């Protein structure tokens, strides 16, 4: 053990009350940081998870059809003329040479999964009941890399072969059908057929559970007359909050429209960011309070131990060693205090998470206690401890031994 660490430890042990109080202060501060971070991160992960549990990070589709001129003939010479334009009805269209685009996306940095899909509107009917539905034609294997659809299944199997579909719980309830039941799907242009329900999913969204219907990719191509085409390529990235940048890059490289989940959920994103900012502000002020606490305790310690520092200097201890004695004290206070805080924050978070449960058994207030959070908290407290000790340690090293020995 270095001489300076030996002295630092002894000084901290010698001032038990002071050390205990500041360690409690640091522990509470770090505990609050851990608790708040775990709670807010947990809530955000839960919200984002629920949102992205049913959609891709980025959806790539063809540009909308441009308005066209519907009236107005040629004008003589250079004369200007008025024309009337009309926005054509948007229909389900295929991405041109989508296999090449798919391959390009798979090679794109930050992309971890690509799934070709055909998505379009249809009317689902059973008897006299009808629902305006969104048909999503998928290849189960590739789509599973984007959304965990199998995990959402609550009844039956995810079998989309032939004329089989998987529907949501709300549609099944409204139509009064279960697995094995039949419904009719009718798309534009009189295309449609009768499908058998192989499975029922629950997306925990009333709207999606009512409107979304999964069919096979080929089934959807037939339903929307795409003939081997796909209307969308759904993309999953490696960074949830990097989706916007990923979408911009994809749009730039492909010339297609690329919408990120962030663009489609602006309000949610603003809410999440506001939450994060509030959390960061609270953490900054807590860290500031901890830093001031450590600095004031060490500053008092320098005054209290001025004569001893003078003795150490007189007996051959270097200025740099005196500096290190106080830096070590700051580091020890930061590290031990943060470990106390880790325990305290974890207890608080676990207690809070256990307070209330959702009907499905999940925590109402989920907490995200991660190694990263612990590591970051300890590192921040250690850094704050050392930085807080810089000024007191500098003062200590500048003490004039003759003066402090004489005056104390």
Partner 1 sequence: MAEEPALVRLEGLTKTYGERVVTPVLRGIDLEIHSMDLCALTGPSGSGKTTLLNLIGLLDRPTTGRVVIEGTDTGALDDEARTALRGRALGFVFQFHHLLPAFSALENVMMPLIARHGRKKAWIREKAEHLLEEVGLAERMTYRATDLSGGQQQRVAIARALVADPALVLADEPTGNLDTQSGEQVLEMVRDFNRRLGTAFLVVTHDDHVASACDRIVHMVDGLVDSDRRSG
Interface residues with partner 1 (CB under 8 A)? 1-3, 6, 10-11, 13-14, 307-308, 310-321, 400-402, 405-406
Instruction: Please say which residue, 169 or 317, places its beta carbon nearer to partner 1.
Output: 317
Question: First and final CA of the chain: distance in angstroms?
Answer: 29
Closer residue to partner 1 in complex, CB, 273/319: 319
Following DSSP, what letter does each residue of 23-53 receive, concatenated? HHHHHHHHHHHHHHHHHHHHHHHHHHHHHHT
Distance CA 238, CA 111 (A): 6
Cβ 19 to partner 1, closest distance in Å? 12
Q: Which is nearer to partner 1, 12 or 213 (CB)?
A: 12
Q: What is the DSSP-derived secondary structure letter of residue 363?
A: B
User: Minimal distance in Å, beta carbon 308 to partner 1?
Assistant: 5
Whichever of 202 and 308 has its CB closer to partner 1, that residue is 308
Q: Write 346-350 long-range contacts (CB < 8 A, 24+).
A: 346/34, 348/31, 348/34, 348/35, 349/34, 349/35, 349/38, 349/39
How long a stretch of residues is the chain?
408
Question: How far, in Å, CA of 323 to CA of 308, rounded?
Answer: 14
What is d(CA 123, CA 103) in angstroms, rounded to the nearest whole number? Answer: 33
Of 252 and 400, CB closest to partner 1: 400
- 19 or 283: whose CB is closer to partner 1? 19
Smallest gap from residue 13 Cβ to partner 1 (A): 7
Q: Least distance to partner 1 from the beta carbon of 50, Å?
A: 57
Instruction: Give strand pairing partners of 165.
Output: 197
Query: SS3 sequence, 115-184?
Result: EEEEEEEEEEEECCEEEEEEEEEECHHHHHCCCCCHHHEEEECCCCCCCEEEEEHHHHHHHCCCCCCEEE
The CB-based long-range contact list for 188-196 (8 Å cut-off, 24+ gap) reads 188/91, 188/120, 188/121, 188/224, 189/225, 191/222, 191/223, 191/224, 191/225, 192/122, 192/223, 193/163, 193/223, 194/163, 195/163, 195/164, 195/165, 196/163, 196/164, 196/165
The SS3 assignment for 56 reads coil
Token pair recorded at residue 21:
């109080």
CB closer to partner 1, 294 vs 322: 322
Nearer Cβ to partner 1 (2/67): 2
Q: Judged by CB, which is closer to partner 1: 346, or 397?
A: 397
């Amino acid at each position: 053990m270095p001489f300076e660490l030996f002295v630092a430890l002894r000084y901290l042990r010698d001032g038990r009350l002071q050390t205990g109080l500041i360690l409690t202060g640091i522990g509470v501060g770090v505990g609050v940081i851990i608790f708040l971070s775990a709670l807010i991160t947990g809530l955000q992960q839960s919200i984002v998870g629920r949102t992205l549990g049913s959609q891709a990070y980025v959806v790539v589709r063809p540009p909308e059809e441009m308005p066209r001129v519907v009236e107005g003939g040629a004008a003589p010479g250079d004369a200007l003329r008025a024309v009337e334009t009309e926005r054509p009805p948007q229909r389900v269209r295929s991405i041109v040479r989508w296999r090449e685009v798919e391959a390009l996306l798979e090679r794109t940095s930050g992309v971890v999964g690509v799934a070709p899909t055909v998505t379009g509107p249809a009317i689902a009917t059973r008897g006299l009941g009808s629902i305006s539905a969104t048909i999503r034609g998928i290849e189960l294997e590739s789509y599973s890399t984007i959304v965990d659809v199998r995990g959402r299944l609550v009844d039956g199997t995810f079998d989309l072969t032939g004329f089989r579909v998987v529907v949501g719980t709300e549609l099944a309830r409204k139509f009064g059908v279960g697995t094995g039941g039949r419904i009719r799907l009718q798309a534009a242009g009189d295309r449609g057929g009768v499908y058998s329900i192989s499975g029922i999913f629950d997306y925990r969204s009333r709207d999606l559970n009512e409107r979304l219907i999964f069919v096979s990719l080929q089934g959807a191509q037939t339903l929307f007359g795409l003939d081997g085409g796909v209307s969308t390529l759904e993309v999953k990235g490696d960074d949830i909050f990097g989706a916007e940048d990923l979408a911009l890059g994809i749009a730039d490289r492909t010339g297609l429209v690329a919408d990120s989940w962030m663009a489609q959920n602006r309000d949610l994103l603003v809410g999440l960011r506001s939450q994060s900012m509030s959390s960061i502000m609270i953490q900054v002020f807590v860290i500031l309070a901890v830093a001031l606490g450590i600095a004031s305790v060490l500053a008092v310690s320098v005054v209290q131990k001025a004569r001893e520092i003078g003795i150490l200097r007189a007996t051959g201890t270097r200025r740099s060693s005196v500096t290190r004695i106080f830096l070590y004290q700051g580091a020890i206070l930061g590290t031990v205090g943060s470990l106390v805080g880790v325990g305290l924050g974890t207890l608080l978070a676990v207690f809070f998470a256990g307070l209330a449960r959702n009907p499905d058994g999940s925590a109402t207030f989920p907490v995200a206690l991660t190694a990263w959070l612990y590591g970051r908290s300890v590192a921040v407290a250690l850094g704050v401890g050392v930085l807080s000790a810089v000024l007191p340690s500098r003062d200590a090293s500048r003490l004039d031994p003759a003066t402090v020995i004489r005056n104390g």
